[in-house]
Amino acid sequence: MSNITRREFIRIAGGISVGMASGACSHPFVKEKHSCKQSQNLKRLIGTKIDYTKARAVPSICFGCTTHCGVIGWVQDGIVKKIEGNPLDPNSRGKVCAKAQGMISYTYYPERIIYPMRRIGKRGEGKWKRISWNEALDEIAKKMKKLRQEEHPERFVFHYGRDKTKGFTKRFTNAFGTPNRLNRRSICSSNRRAPLMSFYGREFEWETQDFENTKFILNFGANPMEAYQGGFFMMQRIQQARVDKGAKMITFEVRPSATASVSDKYFPVFPGTDGAIALAMINVIIDNNLHDKKFWDRWANYPLNDLKKQIASFTPEFAEKESGVPAEEIIDIAIEFAKASPECCTMSNRGSAKHYNGVQADRAIRLLDVLVGNVGRPGGFCLSTLRMWKKRYGQDGLPNIVQPGPSPSSVKPFQPGTEQFNELPVEVQERVKNFPPEWQNKYFGELATPSEYPLSWHWYPMRVGQLVYPYIKEGRAKVEMYMSYTLGASYGYPEAKVAREVLLDEKLIPFHVAIDIGYSEQASLADIILPEATSLERWDAHSTNCYGLVPYTGIRQPMVKPLGEAKPVQIILRDLASKIGGGMESFFNFNDVEEFYREWYKELPISWKEFKKRGIWYDPNRPKDYELYERPVSNDDLKGSFVNKENNIIYKMKKGKKVAVGIMQDGKPVCGFPTPSRKIQVYDEVFPLAAKHVGLPKSDENGSPLCTYFKIPSHVNIQHDELIFTTFKWNVHTQGRTGHLKYQAEIVHANPVFINPETAKRFGLKNSDMIELTVHRPKGHTYRAGEKEPVGKFRNTVRLLNGMHPKVVAVSHHVGHWEHGSVGRSNVNLSHESKSGTEPHLKIFDDKDIPERIWWSKSQGGPGGGVHINDFLPIDPAPLVGGQNWFDNVCSIEKI
């Protein structure tokens, strides 16, 4: 991708016009500007240089994005001055990116909320009053007690954005009795997690390619060099393999991303055609007898000859017609990929998965690895043992790490005949009654388990977050109290205006509590704001899949005390549970958070003091997780087991249930995969089963039990003057959560419309021209909110970029805030009067960078803070799984 300088950004993005009315909410900051000693110290110390003879090093875990690298913070005079990488982290190996320094920005940015606040005007009006923690929690607890007394705990909804407490918030919602602990996975990754869990089992929701030992990488729409969960770990190992082993990387993408720029070959593909390319490659590999027949026959659950017949029509020539990638290139790449096996692997992400046909596309991509037999092998497509804490696969995983103390009972499902079930719309009741018993036992209402999307909760609860607000609006769920936790739905969800509309309606949501660090667009629509501690001020247990293929764990620990009266979420929920009472308090019996996590990690083979000193622990002598499926079944699991002679699966009775623990292969008991067949489920009947029960037409091939390809409905017969409107992420931003961080915002604060020069010429456009972009409503057999056509229009400037697909325009979605402080708003006005004229909202300490150095603000002659585009991206869940189809949007453009 072309390098874009700061000066170029000013030039190309000048005059950007935000495509929505700018919010006039003032900010609920403390009235007493310098009323405490802490603020005075911050003013004095925040800009001083670090003195390593006085500073102390504190290991922790970064929360700049979902990659969560091990870091070391340098603390001097009670202030975090610098963040470095922790060399003990086996994933990041001592490196960090710019986002790590952002943790300092969001801890010390002057407009951070550090006291509980209650609104005193209309909701969303921006009038606030500081209250005590007791006042805030008493008011919240009173309303929650009432719900329990009336036996309607489900009317309490807990909706989170980034919850890295490892189940602590679930402890709270379970203890209260609500199933409505809602996440944002459908916004992010559910379309690509579902194929992984279908193929390999629930425990393998995320792959861990052995990149440092690979020789060939097929990349479908992933961008680890720029923005990807785990991308920082992948980036280092991919480059290592390229230098040390001469590894090749081929990238299929719609725009010249940072990853495309370092690839050996980059092909700009028509959006949503990745599956056609993958299936064509499968045909080539089989036709040239380059598949690993032994591996396939041993571990795939479907005959290869039947596969060949099913996909025969997906030829390289067909894929060329669909995607634009030359058939000769598809053939050559497929052959080279197969010949590199097992030291080869696929990689995919939103570019392939975030489409109406994206789940099937990722199934096809996953099938490539199975076909060449690289699964779990050195240099291949490996799988993480993240969730395997106890002894399994014939070796020890991590020690038994579980939340201490008693666990609350599981929430009861909505069963026919209960009041909760009878409140559902009639069509929903009929659909659920026809579900298989297994699904009925998992059904907890339309917010937690939407009946139209059973594969969003079949393997585990991924939820369908973008439907929460439309469903509430339509009366599919009754809400009395809504609690959002670090959630940016009012800004960052598709058709975010729907979220704002629902949150502003006190009949739909009578009471909204926001737990947040800053005055976000979401928090501005709350009734009470509870200030949370930042990642530099809190504890968390940490674990993620390791690209070194040895499980590890880490601890996020506070480097400094929370500012003002901010508290970590664990303390907030503990204290709230105590005030609600009724037994809830028994599940939160700890004095402080460190005590809680010390108990959590009591089985580590090192002391708590040593663990805090290191920040990371793993067993360096443990063998890597290669070929876990071939490991012998443990003696404990074999004891009392029996074999089903029809399918060779080894079963054992556990708590009165028959549980598969392995499979007999060549007369030996091996673990296999944690799937129903104990093999790789390349053929999965859950897809047609789900399609049947939700009424998906047979013509919609999302219900195919075997991976397939079909056109995205919105892209059928697309007009000559219409384009595909996609989004992307910058490497310095994390969704919409970092627009208020001053150094990240200085690097990227605008979001021009990137377009291919030849396409621009066709529309009579040149750099910096202003256009109006109209987004049309999507088509297909999935939820449609019924809003009028089009979804919406916005104006922005054009940036010509070579390498873009000629039918695509791309706009990043991180900017265009109207809240989140002066940096987020790109507004030099730090402290404007509230609408009442009586409550001045002031910054908590002086920062010489703000406002003088917000040079990109319009009042300083800059381009401004970009355009908010999320209102104009339609709510568009993928069938069955419910992942948001971010990249299917069809648009029209017009020069202004």
Strands (E), 459-532: 481-485, 512-516, 528-531
Number of folded domains in the chain?
4
686 lies in a domain?
no
Same domain for 207 and 256: yes
Whole-number Cα distances in Å, 684 to 37, 194, 538, 604, 650: 63, 11, 43, 39, 20
298 lies in a domain?
yes
- DSSP letter assigned to residue 886: T
Six token digits for residue 468: 């929460």
Same domain for 250 and 348: yes
- Calculate the CA dihedral of residues 40, 42, 46, 50 and round it to 10 degrees: 100
pLDDT of residue 385: 67
Q: Tell me the pLDDT band of 13, cut-offs 50, 70 and 90.
A: very low
Half-sphere exposure of 164 (CA within 13 A, CB side): 22
Q: Tell me the pLDDT band of 414, cut-offs 50, 70 and 90.
A: very high
Q: Tell me the pLDDT band of 39, cut-offs 50, 70 and 90.
A: low
Position with higher pLDDT, 893 vs 11: 893
Please state, in angstroms and rounded to a whole number, the distance separating the CA atoms of residues 487 and 162: 7
Same domain for 517 and 373: no
Q: What is the 3-state secondary structure (H, E, C) of 708-765?
A: CCCCCHHHCCCCCCEEEEECCCCCCCCCCCCCCCHHHHHHCCCCCEEECHHHHHHCCC
Tell me the CATH number at 729.
2.40.40.20
Please state, in angstroms and rounded to a whole number, the distance separating the CA atoms of residues 518 and 491: 14
Of the three residues 352, 385, 418, the one that is the final residue of a domain is: 385
pLDDT 10s digits, 679-690 = 999 999 999 999
pLDDT of residue 405: 76
Same domain for 357 and 247: yes
pLDDT 10s digits, 261-277 = 999 999 999 999 999 99
- DSSP letter assigned to residue 487: -
82 lies in a domain?
no
Q: Which of 331, 431, 895, 505 is nearest to 694 (CA)?
A: 431
Same domain for 295 and 442: no
Please, what is the Cα angle at 401 between 396 and 405, to 5 degrees? Answer: 145
Q: Which of 564, 529, 572 is nearest to 128 (CA)?
A: 529
Mean predicted confidence (pLDDT) in 193-204: 93
pLDDT of residue 65: 87
Lowest mean per-residue pLDDT among 34-38, 817-821, 851-855, 867-871: 34-38
Same domain for 651 and 597: no
pLDDT at 388 over 70: no
Q: Tell me the pLDDT band of 163, cut-offs 50, 70 and 90.
A: confident
Same domain for 724 and 599: no
393 lies in a domain?
no
Buried b (16+ CB within 10 A) or exposed e, 284-312: bbbeeebbbeebbebbbbbeeeebeebbe
- H-run or E-run covering 265: strand 265-268
> What's the pTM?
0.93
Which structural domain range is residue 421 located in?
Answer: 117-189+402-542+552-618
Q: State what percent of residues in the chain have pLDDT above 70.
A: 90
Q: State what percent of residues in the chain have pLDDT above 90.
A: 75
pLDDT 10s digits, 720-756 = 999 999 999 998 888 888 888 888 999 999 999 999 9
- DSSP letter assigned to residue 429: H
* pLDDT mean across residues, the chain: 89
pLDDT of residue 875: 96
pLDDT at 130 over 70: yes
pLDDT of residue 844: 64
pLDDT at 389 over 80: no
176 lies in a domain?
yes
788 lies in a domain?
yes
Count of CB atoms within 10 A of residue 3's CB?
6
Tell me the CATH number at 564.
3.40.50.740
Same domain for 515 and 407: yes
pLDDT of residue 413: 93
What percent of the residues of the chain are helix, what percent strand, and what percent coil, each to the nearest 5? 30, 15, 50
Mean predicted confidence (pLDDT) in 348-371: 97
71 lies in a domain?
no
Please state, in angstroms and rounded to a whole number, the distance separating the CA atoms of residues 227 and 225: 6
Lowest mean per-residue pLDDT among 16-20, 274-278, 345-349, 397-401: 16-20
368 lies in a domain?
yes
Q: Tell me the pLDDT band of 323, cut-offs 50, 70 and 90.
A: very high
Position with higher pLDDT, 11 vs 511: 511
pLDDT 10s digits, 522-580 = 999 999 999 999 999 999 999 888 999 988 999 999 999 999 999 999 999 999 999 99
Same domain for 417 and 375: no
Of the three residues 360, 385, 410, the one that is the final residue of a domain is: 385
pLDDT of residue 403: 76
Q: Tell me the pLDDT band of 7, cut-offs 50, 70 and 90.
A: very low
Q: Tell me the pLDDT band of 397, cut-offs 50, 70 and 90.
A: low
pLDDT of residue 11: 35
Same domain for 599 and 451: yes
Please state, in angstroms and rounded to a whole number, the distance separating the CA atoms of residues 860 and 827: 9
Q: Tell me the pLDDT band of 836, cut-offs 50, 70 and 90.
A: very low
Q: Residue 853 CA to chain centroid, in angstroms?
A: 32
Same domain for 489 and 377: no
Same domain for 415 and 319: no
Tell me the CATH number at 336.
3.40.228.10
pLDDT of residue 18: 32
Please state, in angstroms and rounded to a whole number, the distance separating the CA atoms of residues 846 and 844: 7
Across the chain, which distance is largest between two alpha carbons, in Å?
81
Listed in sequence order, the residues at least 6 apart from 69 whose beta carbon sits closer than 8 Å to its beta carbon are: 61, 62, 85, 86, 89, 91, 92, 95, 96, 97, 100, 232, 233
Please, what is the Cα angle at 340 between 338 and 341, to 5 degrees? Answer: 70
pLDDT of residue 834: 37
Strands (E), 518-656: 528-531, 540-542, 552-556, 616-618, 642-643, 649-654
Helix 133-149, helix 569-580: angle, nearest 10: 50
